[in-house]
Chain A
Amino acid sequence: MSYAIDVRNLTKKIKNNAIVDHINIRVQRGKIYGFLGPNGSGKTTTMRMLCGLLSSDDGEGHCLGFDFKKESDKIKSQVGYMTQKFSFWEDLTIRENLEFTVKMFQKDNIEKRVRKSLEKAGLTSRAEQLAGTLSGGWKQRLALTACLIHEPKLLLLDEPTAGVDPKARKAFWEDIRNFADSGFTVLVSTHYTDEAERCDKIIYIAYGSIMAEGTVSEIMCGFSSMEDSFIYYTDNSLRNKL
């Protein structure tokens, strides 16, 4: 079985305090992995290290077959990373943002690619609107479209549906399910337990360590709901630390 992400002992320290403490992550190709954990548990830091946005203090391994420490440029060109906070240029229009992204990834047929993406996302009528004037749901739509425009093999989504209405969330999950079904991989962090249940596998992280890992049914085993398991793992980890 091939892994899209296969990293061992991944560590990030800030002033001797381990934010991420020797974690091992293996993500199978073509699956959606849910990344769960309380605020400040190290989800964002882990994702940033995987795509070369942050340096790591320890660990080795591969991401899409490239050494995640040395070949971050090659990884970047095949990863779509969606930041927690909307991070496209608010003073550019939707079209300008997409065009800029395509150019940065050095893809050809810029115009055609942008047009297709706009159509697929239902953004064509708003193409000339400034990104800053969009509502939360449309911003998220733009961000996902931009993340997919260079045809990445791996999506790293950092709390992509925070502050988005249920209808838009549903559409969003359909999109990433389609993406995974065509053989690509998704690692998505979330606080919503209903979203976690849509994932193929779940990784629980708290206090910089992985608490549990497995399919939804494995994780839920012995708990009446996803919420209960979530609270249990979070508390348990706190006990271990103390």
Chain B
Amino acid sequence: MILSFAKILAILKKEFIQLKRDRATAAMVIFIPLIQLLLFGYAINNDPKHLNTVVLSEDNSIFSRNFVVGLKNSEYFHVAGEIKSDAEGRKLLQKGDVQFVVTIPGNFSRDLIRRRVPSVLIEADAADPVTAAGAVGAAREILTSALARDLSGVLSFLRNDNLLPANVIIHKLYNPEGFTNYNVIPGLIGALLTLMGIMVTALSLTRERERGTMENMLAMPVKPMEVMLGKIIPHIIIGYIQAAIIVAAAKFLFTIPLAGSSFLLAIAMMMFIICNLALGLAVSTIAKNQMQSLQIAMFIFLPSLMLSGFMFPFYGMPSWAQMIGSCFPMTYFVRITRGIMLKGSNFSEMWQNFWALLLFMCIVTGIAAKLYKKTLD
């Protein structure tokens, strides 16, 4: 199939002229990101549970083992396994596979017996500060109750009602000050691109159908792929403008660091924008009018928002919700933006998410191309 560049360009130009004359939409493109940014800049409180945790235990004693059992039995932590080194823990945190690495130092039981008040170290992925904040309290509670049981009988002399026998120290990584908007704003890019991408494309195509101009366009010798490209390209550009607004606002308004490669971020955005535009195209082929396409767009947008890890920590959701969440490209995109903007992650640490996005992009584009009708039937 040979596509005509001139025809695509003609459609593209027409779209831009129409957008320019449609003041309301043009304003929406600029102001929605800004308004959302200010609204979402504040925390959404929640109560996370079963957060992935790995344990690095250098002290093999009854005390440390009981503490780990305590962690396992708790609702807050989900002990995914034990690791052997510090570096391994860092890597898991960086990739976002675990939220916490609990380290029990080698001298833990010795110091405990000598009443030196040993400490357990928790390294937390504080990109989501709400999650991290709860961890300290929960861990201290678990440690105290685990030791209380063990420090009985002949060891009861170690108990001191005024002083805890051991301490919990937390290291907040990636977002030491615990700003919630650190976590929200990178995710917001995903939310906005989803909303605008699906909605604007779906509307622009159903509008043509509703007004009858689609009939005119179909009567012209133009290939469906040319129409699709002509419709999609302007919105890729718009998507980038919106993303740029948010990234700029994040940097200058909320002083969020852009720790990783902005080039990698731009590539992820391209893939994600195409995913959403293709979704929008697919929606437009199903919807009979603009109202319907708006409703279907919302039907996709809301669960993306709720289940992608944007609103609630992904691994804190029940497994069925995680399963549904995995079906939305936004889930992977939010991980990528958080990884790049907050943790400075590189491609090798996030390739699974990129792979998932690529897969989505191909499948959704294929479906949209298949559903796109050449005739009025």
Contacts and interface: CB of A to CB of B under 8 A. Distances in A.
Interface of A: 48, 51-55, 73-74, 76-77, 79, 81, 83, 85-92, 96, 99-101, 103-106, 130
Interface string B339-377: 000000000000000000000000000000000000111
B21 A91 contact: yes
Contacts of A88: 213, 216
Nearest to B20: A91
A62 B325 CA distance: 52
A87 B211 contact: yes
Contacts of B219: 51, 53, 76, 79, 81, 83
Find the residue from B211, B221, B376, B377 having the highest chain A CB count within 10 A: B221
A89 B213 contact: yes
A101 B11 CA distance: 10
14 contacts: A52-B375, A53-B375, A54-B376, A55-B377, A73-B223, A83-B216, A83-B219, A86-B212, A87-B216, A90-B211, A99-B10, A103-B9, A104-B222, A106-B6
Q: Is the interface of A mostly helix, strand, loop or mixed?
A: loop
Interface in B1-42: 4, 6-7, 9-10, 13-14, 17-18, 21-22
B377 A54 contact: yes
A127 to B, nearest CB: 15
Interface of B: 4, 6-7, 9-10, 13-14, 17-18, 21-22, 211-213, 215-223, 375-377
Nearest to A99: B10
A100 B14 contact: yes
A55 B376 CA distance: 8
A49 to B, nearest CB: 9
B73 to A, nearest CB: 61
A51 B13 CA distance: 26
Given A53-B218, A100-B10, A106-B7, A89 B375 contact: no
Nearest to A86: B212
B375 A104 contact: no
B376 A53 contact: yes
The 7 closest A-B pairs by CB, nearest first: A103-B10, A87-B216, A77-B221, A104-B220, A87-B212, A76-B221, A81-B219
A91 B215 contact: no
A87 B215 contact: yes
Contacts of B223: 73
Contacts of A92: 14, 17-18
B221 A104 contact: yes
A48 B215 CA distance: 9
A113 B219 CA distance: 20
Contacts of B17: 91-92, 96
Contacts of B14: 89, 92, 96, 100
